[in-house]
Amino acid sequence: MYQVSDIVQIVTTQRFMLPSASLTISELVYDSRKVYHGDSALFFALKAARDGHRFIRAAYDRGIRSFVVSDLDLDYKQYPDANFLWVDDVLEALQTLASYHRKQFHYPIIGITGSNGKTIVKEWLYQMLCQDKKVYQSPKSYNSQLGVSLSLWELSDQYDIALIEAGISQEGEMAKLAEMVKPDIGVLTSLGVAHADGFSSKLVKLNEKLMLFQDSKTVIFPSKYVPEDLRSQSIQQLSWGNSASDKWQLVSTEINGSWTEVLLMEDSVEQRLILPFIDQASIENCLTCSSVMRFLGYDWSVIAERLKQLEAVEMRLQLKSGINNTSVIDDSYSNDLGALRIALDFLERQQQHVKKTLILSEVMGLPNDEKYFDKLRTLLSVFNLTRLIWVGNATTIFDGLDFETISFSSVDDLERHWATLSFADETILVKGGRAFHFESIVKRLTAKSHGTVLEINLNAIEHNLHAYRSLLPADVKLMAMVKAFSYGSGSFEVANMLQYNAVDYLTVAFVDEGVELRQGGISLPIMVLSPDESTFDRLVTHRLEPEIYSFRIFEAFNAYLKQQELQKYPIHIKLDTGMHRLGFLEDELPELLARLKEETTVKVVSLFSHLVASGKQSEDAFTQSQIGQYQRCVEHLEHELGYKVIKHLCNTSGIVRWPSAYFDMVRLGIGLYGIDLHHSNLDIWATSMLKTTITQIKTLKEGETVGYDRRGVLKKDGQIATVKIGYADGYDRRFGNGVGTMLIRGQYVPTIGNICMDMCMLDVSDMKVAEGDEVIVFPDIQQSARAIGVIPYELLVNISSRVKRVYYYQ
């Protein structure tokens, strides 16, 4: 623990102001939304996608009294009792502090880096070590410049060993991480092509990664990734692989069904290891972990035993719908305080239910002592839990917490008493140490799926939001289009994340969609594109704001408002500048204006129009004329109305291509969902993946036929796989007979025969596949859309509601 006055000594400040110098700092925060113990937190106003200085007020309101800032002209007088430290570079100050803190500890610190596998190797090492050591691991994938700093800050004298993951995306970043982490032992997992963009060549990339180990005593790595001449002479090099200089020589690997047998030679003695995986990446990661364990002095027999117990790591939280109108957050694979906190944060953000239950197990590899339980209690006390269901010993530790606590000694015990618990209308976070096998609990809680799921990556949507937002000047608002269930991606789950990220407006197509969002706890203003007379009641009850596009709808709504005696109800006026769909034409505006001036029932919140071809270069002249017409109309209207309205015109393509037309707000749609129609320079991530499974595999002879009307004919002896997706799920019939391509075990396979209602068949001749294998339905959605002559929007929104949505969050 440091006092603010100590911290002034550690980081280099330009100046400081310490009216509360004796405050003790235990937490470092950079996000004003994630503040739980205000007065013991130090806020870093980072200049990231959004400038942290803008959130000082919010952080102060949440109790923070200590700030590290860089803006010299900041108006600190507003905060008379707050400490301010002015530095040149806020991130650098955070790193300096983290690095100082790290130097207080002398137990081994293992630094892990690589293109792929670093988080898995970290998790597996944790699993293998925690059986007899107190292990700290950096939470989830906190591996960036910021993440590593925060990870190091959590080091304490409770541990025997620490695992810190370091990741870089650009040249020059590793030196800083190395300076902070100063790993005693370095581990390089792999070197691949992932994230290659920021690097000029593979060699540069490798050199950069190796920089993490510049002060290490020992480095452990698979030899195939590191050419001999790059290896530093001053560091002990321990590698495994096929070359003569390897400490551990790979003799053979043999895959048997679901496991792999590996023979490894150490000092001429052969060791036999059974790995519970068959894919190449997992085999490599297991061998890297074994090498580290060996270096740490473990016997081969212990290593072999612990390897067998490893399980695949699911690093992401999953949000699913559960029984009795519950939402279930499944995060059963990693359980330490860091990961628990991330999961609780996510739980806290769920607005769909007031009730919140945490099902939590004891943690392995951490001292289950008073100090640990103290931390746990403190952590739990700041979240708004309704109920804690605890699995493990030490039942009295939760005395004094102000929510219901129920304890069970084991998962078995919990399952035996399942009927005594009720779960309904609540959000349930399931978070258990791996040894507890909480999978069975998650199964009991979640509604059944029929084998086809749409996986939605909430991080990717969040990432895309930030990417488009980065194009906008700070004073341009953002409206997120969540119509058609967020282009097929779901309703309140996506909206919740958007609300958390403070978008300004949401837009739905119909009143019912808006009602669902309100019932899911969404409080942002919501515009409804196609309100209908019959739904005015619901619209008003749920504070939804209609688009008014014609005199008919205006008069109807006006009459309704009068009858209800409502005044100044917010509405949005749609102008038709060329779409010729809905909206007022320019020559109708004088009459519209007259009507608006007459009535006090409504207040115009925004005036908007829609570009018809903002993405199409050949129509740029038309777009330009639309922009001109829009501008002329809104300026006139706003002036005549006599008050400010929000003006907005651009959709996704407009955001990318027409900065001159941002006005006060933009409407982001398809881009949010990962479809970059313009191949812009933005780094846009795919957000959803439709997955199904193989139900049956059949071997057929040349000439036999597959499916209805005998349309699929085998041209030679072969094999087909039946998968659980058909046109009722949204897999269009036009994908039949080889037009559609899916992905199984990394290989593309064509459909064969007609698509059926609930199933279809794939030609998997000459491939090694198994029943139960996962199948990716649209490996490339733009390409799939082209194959049947539609646009990606259509494929997305047609994915049937019976396809279960599972949300992932990292």
Ligand X SMILES: *Cc1c(COP(=O)(O)O)cnc(C)c1O
Chain residues that interact with ligand X, rule: CB under 6 A: 481, 483, 529, 610, 651-653, 667-671
Residue 435 or 509: the one with the smaller Cβ distance to ligand X is 509
Query: Least distance (Å) from ligand X to the CB of residue 319?
Result: 24
Strands 83-86 and 602-608: unpaired
Give the C-alpha separation, 501 to 522, whole Å.
12
Rg (CA), the chain: 29
- Minimum Å gap between C-beta 408 and ligand X is 48
Angle of helix 492-500 relative to helix 337-349, nearest 10 degrees, comes to 110
3-state helix, strand, coil in the chain (%, to 5): 35, 25, 40
What contacts 24+ positions apart, CB below 8 Å, involve 75-82? 76/17, 80/19, 81/19, 81/20, 82/19, 82/20
- Check whether 33 is labelled as a binding-site residue: no
**What are the CB-based long-range contacts (under 8 Å, 24+) for 24-33?**
25/1, 25/66, 26/1, 28/94, 28/97, 28/98, 28/149, 28/150, 28/153, 29/59, 29/64, 30/94, 30/146, 31/55, 32/56, 32/58, 32/59, 32/62, 32/64, 33/58, 33/500
At closest approach, how far in Å is the CB of 349 from ligand X? 25
* HSE, side-chain direction, 13 A CA sphere, residue 487: 20
Name which of 329 and 495 has its Cβ closer to ligand X.
495
SS3 letters across 24-41: EECEEECCCCCCCCHHHE
708 classed as catalytic? yes
Q: Residue 547 burial by CB count (10 A; 0-12/13-18/19+): exposed, middle or buried?
A: buried
Q: What is the end-to-end Cα distance of the chain in Å, rounded?
A: 29
Minimum distance from CB of 509 to ligand X (Å)?
Answer: 8
Strand extents, DSSP E, 341-476: 355-361, 387-391, 404-408, 426-431, 453-457
Nearest distance from C-beta of residue 651 to ligand X, angstroms: 3
- Which ranges of 52-133 does DSSP label H, i.e. alpha helix? 56-61, 90-102, 118-129
Residue whose tokens read 């269009």: 732
- Of the two residues 451 and 669, which places its CB atom closer to ligand X in the complex? 669
Q: How far is the CB of 513 from ligand X (least distance, A)?
A: 13
Distance between CA atoms of residues 1 and 6, nearest Å: 10
Shortest Cβ distance from residue 460 to ligand X (Å)? 16
Q: 251: part of which helix (H) or strand (E)?
A: strand 248-256
The pair of structure tokens assigned to 705 is 């036929």
Tell me whether residue 188 or residue 668 sits nearer to ligand X (CB atom). 668
Q: Which is nearer to ligand X, 434 or 667 (CB)?
A: 667
Cβ–Cβ under 8 Å, residues 560 and 594: no
Which one, 481 or 777, has the nearer CB to ligand X? Answer: 481
Q: How far is the CB of 665 from ligand X (least distance, A)?
A: 11
Minimum distance from residue 477 beta carbon to ligand X (Å): 14
Catalytically annotated residue among 483, 574, 647, 691: 483
SS3 call for 252: strand
581 labelled binding-site residue? yes
C-beta of 452 vs 653, nearer to ligand X: 653
Q: Report how many helices (DSSP H) and strands (DSSP E) the chain contains, helices first.
A: 24, 40
In degrees rounded to 5, what are phi and psi of residue 153? Answer: -60, -25
Compare residues 41 and 670 and give the one whose CB is closer to ligand X: 670
Dihedral sign for Cα 377, 379, 381, 383, please. Answer: negative
Residue identified by tokens 């963009």 is 197
What secondary structure letter does DSSP report for 617? G
Helix (H, G, I), strand (E, B) or coil at 668: strand
- Read out DSSP for 774-788? EEES-SSHHHHHHHT
Pick between residue 10 and residue 797 the one whose CB is nearest to ligand X: 797
> Under a CB-based contact definition with an 8 Å cutoff, are residues 723 and 775 in contact?
yes
Nearer to ligand X, 161 or 539 (CB): 539
Report d(CA 483, CA 481) in Å as an integer.
6
**Residue of minimal Cβ distance to ligand X:** 669
Closest CB to ligand X among residues 515, 529? 529
Q: How far is CA 684 from CA 262, 371, 673, 688, in A?
A: 40, 44, 9, 12
Asked whether the beta carbons of 601 and 592 are under 8 A apart, the reply is no
**Long-range pairs, 257-262, Cβ under 8 A, ≥24:** 262/286, 262/287
Least distance in angstroms from the C-beta of 185 to ligand X: 49
Residues 217, 371, 644, 708: which is the catalytic one?
A: 708
Contact 26, 100 (CB under 8 A): no
Nearer to ligand X by Cβ, of 528 and 694: the residue is: 528
Give φ, ψ of 513 to 5 degrees.
-65, -40
Q: CA-to-CA distance for 682 and 470, rounded, in angstroms?
A: 10
CB of 581 to ligand X, least distance (A): 9
How near is the Cβ of 427 to ligand X at its closest, in Å? 30
CA distance 413 to 767: 45
Number of other residues whose CB lies within 10 A of the CB of residue 713: 13
In the annotated binding site, the residues are 581, 757
What residues act catalytically?
A: 483, 708
In the annotated binding site for substrate, the residues are 581, 757
